[in-house]
Structure 1
Amino acid sequence: MSTEQSTTSDGFSYTLTRTLDAPAGKVWQAWTTPEQYARWANAAPGSVDMDVRPGGTWKSTMITPDGGRVPLTGSYLEVTENRLLVLGMDVPGKPAPVTMTVELDGEDGRRTRIVLRQTCDTAEERDMAEQGSTMLLDGLSAFLAEGPAD
């Protein structure tokens, strides 16, 4: 469950901040465990693979609201357990990966402030990426609110 969200945009960058009603370790596991990630990130079952370490790779196939499938790939640039993920996302036609930063701050052992940041090349790319990141945070919030998996 989310208790707060704020959004700031600067040029072609955006920052989303949300407070989640879950400890940082639980949020980290949701973001870095393929089975959990697939449940909340609209990923096709069996499509998520994660080697969560600097230089490790990740992949998933996102299912769009209209039922389409979008393959995503990338690598982990920085990893600090329960605190920081810096992801490189491969984008066709771009010479370098697009970088997304995910920061976790366990506020009181029960709640976690999550901050997503990304810089894009155009306003259109920024708006699409921000919409996608907001959908990710919505899915993560709902997943965490469900409680433990059966």
Structure 2
Amino acid sequence: MNETIVTTPSELEIRVERTFDAPREHVFSVWTDPQLIPEWWGDGTVVEEMDVRPGGTWRFRTAYGVVEGEFREVEAPERLVQTFQNHLQTLEFEDLGERTKLTQTMRFASTEERDTTMQYGVEEGAKGGFARVDSVLQKLATRR
């Protein structure tokens, strides 16, 4: 089982690390393909917009409301930088051959915002979401 590691490397950041048993291109596509996102975001997520390019926007409707942001950097399949509600999110996809290490860094405007996000259960949310990502990656492996 691949472990999800959550740390706070600075007063303004939360970092989540996880290795997936899939090639980097597949893992990157799970974060950028509008047909795959609802499979792991859950909660009846509908992708209303997904323009994966610098300056492009994304918008999801979930059971809890709308989540939206803008892509700042897109370097497929290595890196995504996007705004995400109350923080800037950087996703780095490290190629380990048939495996991929994901490093997700969330940078907040204040320590209070970071701490509030931690209290809402980042670790549990990441573990649940990544378990669903594993399922999507297994399906991709059989399709491609």
Regarding TM over 0.5, the answer is yes
Q: State how 1:1-150 maps to structure 2 within 5 Å.
A: 3-10=2-9, 11-42=11-42, 44=44, 46-63=46-63, 69-91=64-86, 98-108=87-97, 110-120=98-108, 121=110, 122=112, 123-128=115-120, 130-131=122-123, 132-146=125-139, 147-148=141-142
CA offset at residue 143 of structure 1? Answer: 1.9
Give me the whole-angstrom Cα distance separating, in 2, the residues matched to 1:71 and 1:28: 23
- Contact kept, 8 Å, 1:38 with 1:48, in 2: the verdict is no
Amino acid at match of 1:130: V
Residues matched between the structures, number: 137
Q: 1:59 to 1:129 in 2, by over 3 A?
A: farther
**Higher helix proportion:** 2
Q: CA RMSD in A?
A: 2.3
Gaps of 5+ in 2: none
Q: So what's the TM-score if we normalise by structure 2?
A: 0.81
Deviations 1:68-116 (A, max 9, x none): x22101100111001000111235xxxxxx20111101101x1000011
State the SS of the aligned residue for 2:88.
Answer: strand
Q: So what's the TM-score if we normalise by structure 1?
A: 0.78
CA offset at residue 30 of structure 1? Answer: 1.2
Gaps of 5+ in 1: 64-68, 92-97
- Contact kept, 8 Å, 1:77 with 1:88, in 2: the verdict is yes
- Contact kept, 8 Å, 1:43 with 1:61, in 2: the verdict is no
Give me the whole-angstrom Cα distance separating, in 2, the residues matched to 1:6 and 1:28: 19
Amino acid at match of 1:7: V
User: What is aligned with 1:94?
Assistant: none
